[in-house]
Amino acid sequence: MTDVVVAQGLSRSYGSGAAAVHAVREAELRLAEGELAVLSGPSGSGKTTLLSLVGGLDTPDTGTITVAGLELARLDRDGRERFRRDVTGWVFQAAGLLPILSSVENVMLPLLTQGRRELEARAAALDALATVGLSERAEHRAQELSGGEQQRVSLARALAKGPRLLIADEPTGELDSETALVVMQLLRGVAAGGTAVLVATHDAAFRDFADQVLLMEDGRCRRAG
């Protein structure tokens, strides 16, 4: 399998001197296409910071990150914006939908920013909603959906772009166990389709769906087992 993510020697600190917070320390990560990796660890261990570095939302103090053949340090501002727009998809703990828009309109938004025509964007959005089992809710406004349905629309929004890397930060954190299981199964299916999937979670049940489990503690990352 082809590596999608190769991160080496990543460190990231905030502040300076005695007050400095060492969020990530010499982290290593390798993730192939079709692989689902679970990043596990207590709150404050550095999981979200590591996701932000790999996803191009933050820049490491030391180390290198290559995603889908792109070395992030070599990208200028416009290049990083295109990387975040076209290469990665994100799912957060909160779905972050616009409540007055329908499900399909929420999914279409990032596609329109990519420059796709409206009919093409709508077709891709409907396909993504079908993938997460929400075809019948396509025209419902986000405010009319349950929490689990909103999170599935959020996943569809990320998938519709066809990302090489899908990053999920505590995607089941606000869901009951039954709905969380549905989201886990969907993410496993995304990986089976060839996308590299990186999930940060407190939910131990996610490990049963993972190809690799990474444990974080005090900013350090090691592979379980």
- As a whole number, the mean pLDDT across the chain is 93
Q: What is the pLDDT of residue 224?
A: 85
H helix and E strand count, the chain: 6, 10
- What's at 208, amino acid-wise? D
Name the DSSP letter for residue 164: S
Closest C-alpha to 161, from 94, 113, 93, 217? 113
- Tens digits of residue pLDDT in 20-72: 889 999 999 999 999 999 999 888 899 999 999 999 999 999 999 999 999 99
Q: What is the pLDDT of residue 46?
A: 92
Residue 203 pLDDT > 90: no
Q: What is the pLDDT of residue 7?
A: 96
d(CA 173, CA 89): 18
d(CA 176, CA 178): 6
d(CA 161, CA 132): 14
What is the rounded average pLDDT of the residues 196-206? 92
Q: What is the pLDDT of residue 144?
A: 95
Instruction: Give me the residue spans of the domains in the chain.
Output: 35-50+77-223
- Tens digits of residue pLDDT in 106-126: 999 999 988 999 999 999 999
Q: What is the pLDDT of residue 174?
A: 86
Question: What stretches of 87-176 show up as alpha helix (H) in DSSP?
Answer: 103-113, 118-131, 147-159
Band the pLDDT of 81: cuts 50, 70, 90.
very high
Q: What is the pLDDT of residue 19?
A: 84
* Sign of the alpha-carbon torsion through 126, 131, 132, 137: positive
Q: What is the pLDDT of residue 102?
A: 97
Residue 173 pLDDT > 90: no
pLDDT > 70 fraction of the chain, expressed in percent and rounded: 100
Residues 6+ apart with CB under 8 A from 62: 9, 10, 11
Q: What is the pLDDT of residue 225?
A: 66
Instruction: Give how far Cα 84 sits from Cα of 11, 56, 81, Å.
Output: 21, 7, 5
Residues 6+ apart with CB under 8 A from 77: none
Q: How many CA atoms lie within 13 A of 72 on its CB side?
A: 28
Band the pLDDT of 202: cuts 50, 70, 90.
confident
Q: What is the pLDDT of residue 33?
A: 96
What is the rounded average pLDDT of the residues 115-139? 95
Residue 129 pLDDT > 80: yes
CATH 3.40.50.300 fits 35-50+77-223, yes or no: yes
